[in-house]
Chain A
Amino acid sequence: MKKRNELEKIMFHPTGTDLKPYEWMISATPQQEWIDKKGIFLLLAFFFTEIGAGLYFISLFYQYRTGLILGWLISLILGGGVHVLYLGNPFRAWRMLMKPQTSELSRGMWIIGIFAVAGFVQIVTSNFGPVFNVIMGILSLLIISHGFMTMNVIRALAAWSSTMVIPLSIISGVWIGCQMFQFMLAVSGNQMAQSFEIWSQILLIVYFVCVLLYIWGTYHASETAEKSISLMLKGDLAKYFYGGVVLIGFMLPLLITLKMWDGDINAGLIFLRLALIFAGDIAMRYIIMKSAMYQPLI
């Protein structure tokens, strides 16, 4: 047995997966490229572009220039930068503009490019005309959903093809953008932070309902999707789901929201809630990306 193990170590290089070549895809196989090792950059890239665009989107309604600038920077510098770090050949990144007719990634690059230019123009000129605002609003929503949209078009991974993936990403982007916006208002002593709390209360509930609908919808989508959800709720990812998404991403923010229910808000609690929501959203994204599985080949 010992000799056999040694032989296997030589035949199947230890730096590779534990799977033997003949075991590949004979049972539901988790995707790894977009989450393990360097794949974690993609998770962060999607997260940063989402929260930056979310902040930009909310700031647009109030013509809040600081929020616009910060949202623009987070989306492009952090989101775009980390995205490029993930690539195998970052210097060829411009080539990703070449196929918007079929590739969701390519379409996303175009949208980010247009957002970068148009956002810069809006910030510099302070042009908040209704047409420009609508265009920027649509671009922000597209960027918020870009990550999950890229995942959603992959038919091979049932957990990502779920109908609720896009609504969940939009709600989570707007929800985090809203929290960042409220925090900025509260820190600057703006009275609007208090009246804005109602949006926080609504979006917290809507966000969690979206998570539940995603789980329910995906569980009933297919056998492989059911396995993904089981992995999330009962398998290796359960600790991230209950600890990260449920406790940190929902229960604790809910407690803070209830504490401020009577309108007695303060920047410290809003910051704490924001930090918890950040962690909860990253956990939610990690779980969705990690739990996706391919249907067995035979």
Chain B
Amino acid sequence: MARWGMVIDVKRCIACWSCTISCKEEHFLPPNVFWNRVLIGEAGKFPTSRKLIYPVLCNHCADAACVDACPTGATYKREDGIVAVDYDKCVGCRACLISCPYQQRTYYDEEKKNAEYFPGQGKTEYEKIGEKLYPFTCGTVMKCNFCTERIEEGLEKGLTPGTDDEASPACVIACPVGARIFGDLDDSESEISRLIMEKNGKQLHPEFGTEPAVYYID
């Protein structure tokens, strides 16, 4: 069984937010909900200061703090390494949200459900369709799912996630500079395994011992 992961080349990223927008489109995320973010910060001091651009998303950790913290089993780890949420089991205690060191989870409540992209002007047709196609449950926690639907559909068609666009996460195929590489971490021949080895891929906050499946190279 594959263990899906991602490599993000921060040197290539130009902070165009294509990943953020494509993710929002793919999952019909309401205003102020982001499963993909591009963080922009600074490091060092003048004259040696530099700009940091880090796209971040759920790390689908091997030893996920959110999975351990969830009291109901709503957040669980799939065989393919994806950390998923079963909205029918989620009780809305937000223990997962609190315990995530990367803060990649969002509590979906009435306020978010009713939020409009154009405040005061009602929901657009696009938002209404989204609610039907991709319904979220109020009082539960949501997060990036590595576009599970696309991966599963792609695999059924005999496609390879990471190689075939149709089977890859939306953020990966939307990236105009190819900064995101998706693939099987357990396959030593895969492109992401090679990049992690060759370019010394780093995880965010390895000190928490969560073993993220998202690596950064530069």
Instruction: Mark A residues whose CB is within 8 Å of B.
Output: 10, 12-17, 21-27, 29, 31, 33-34, 86-90, 92-93, 95-99, 102-106, 109, 150, 153-157, 294-298
Q: Tell me, yes or no, whether B204 is within 8 Å of chain A by CB.
A: yes
In the assembled complex, the Cα of A97 lies from the Cα of B90 at a distance in Å of 13
Please determine whether B99 and A156 come into contact, CB atoms closer than 8 angstroms: yes
Determine whether the beta carbon of A25 is less than 8 Å from that of B39.
yes
Tell which of A15, A24, A34, A89 touches B37, judged by Cβ atoms closer than 8 Å. A24
| Chain B residues near A156 (CB-CB < 8 A) | 65, 98-101, 208
- B interface majority secondary structure: loop
Do residues A33 and B139 form an inter-chain contact, with CB atoms below 8 A? no
- When A12-B32, A156-B101 are in contact, do A95 and B71 touch as well, CB less than 8 Å? yes
Q: How distant is the Cα of A89 from the Cα of B85 in the complex, in angstroms?
A: 15
Q: CB-CB < 8 A to B71: which residues of A?
A: 95-99, 103, 105-106, 109
**B101 close to A295 (CB less than 8 A):** yes
| Contact of B31 with A16 in the complex, beta carbons under 8 Å | yes
Residues 165-198 of B, flagged 1 when their CB comes within 8 A of A and 0 if not, give: 0000000000000000000000000000000000
User: Is B56's beta carbon under 8 Å from chain A?
Assistant: yes
Whether A103 contacts B103 in the complex (CB less than 8 A), given A13-B32, A21-B37, A26-B39, comes out as no
Please tell me if the beta carbons of B103 and A89 are within 8 angstroms of each other in the complex: no
Binary flags per residue of B53-91, CB closer than 8 Å to A gives 1, else 0: 010100000000101111111100000000000000111
Task: Please give, as numbers and ranges, the residues of chain B lying within 8 Å of A298 by CB-CB distance.
Answer: 39, 41, 43, 52, 54, 204
User: With contacts A99-B71, A295-B101 known, is A92 near B91, CB below 8 A?
Assistant: yes
The complex places the Cα of A86 from the Cα of B93 at a distance, in Å, of 7
A92 touches B89 (CB 8 A): yes
Which residue of chain A lies nearest to B118 when distances are taken between CB atoms in the complex? Answer: A10
Docked complex: B131-178 residues within 8 A CB-CB of A: 137-141
The interface residues of chain A lying within 8 Å CB-to-CB of B209 are: 155
Nearest 10 interchain pairs by C-beta? A88-B92, A88-B139, A156-B101, A16-B32, A106-B71, A95-B72, A26-B41, A105-B71, A103-B71, A96-B71
CB neighbours of A33 from chain B (8 A): 94, 97-98, 107
Q: Are B91 and A96 in contact (CB under 8 A)?
A: yes
Chain A nearest Cβ from B107, distance in angstroms: 6
Complex Cα distance A21/B104, Å? 12
Given contacts A14-B119, A26-B41, A33-B98, contact A89 B73 (CB under 8 A): no
- In whole angstroms, what is the CA distance A157 to B43 when docked? 23
Size of the B side of the interface (Cβ < 8 Å), in residues, is 52
Which one of B31, B56, B98 contacts A297 once the chains associate, using CB atoms below 8 Å?
B56
Given known contacts A88-B90, A156-B208, A294-B101, A103 and B31 CB-to-CB distance under 8 angstroms: no
Q: Does B40 touch A at the CB level, under 8 Å?
A: yes
Chain B residues in 8 Å Cβ range of A153: 69, 99
Q: Beyond A89-B92, A103-B68, A297-B205, is A154–B40 a contact (Cβ under 8 Å)?
A: no
B217 on the A face (CB < 8 A):
no
Residue of B nearest to A151 (CB): B98
Q: With A and B bound together, what is the CA distance between A90 and B68 in angstroms?
A: 21
A-facing mask of B7-30, CB < 8 A → 1, else 0? 000000001000010000000000
Instruction: List the B side residues contacting A92 at CB < 8 Å.
Output: 72, 89-91
Q: Quick one: closest B residue to A160, CB to CB?
A: B98
> With A87-B92, A156-B100 in contact, do A104 and B38 touch (Cβ < 8 Å)?
no
Choice from B74, B92, B98 contacting A34 with Cβ under 8 Å? B98
Return A223 CB to nearest CB of chain B, in Å.
12
Identify 5 residue pairs between A and B in the complex whose beta-carbon atoms are under 8 Å apart, listed by A's number: A22-B15, A27-B41, A88-B92, A98-B73, A109-B71
Please indicate the chain B residues that have their CB under 8 angstroms from the CB of A21 in the complex.
20, 34, 37-38
Residues A103 and B34 in contact, CB atoms below 8 Å apart: no
- Residue of B whose beta carbon sits closest to that of A34: B98
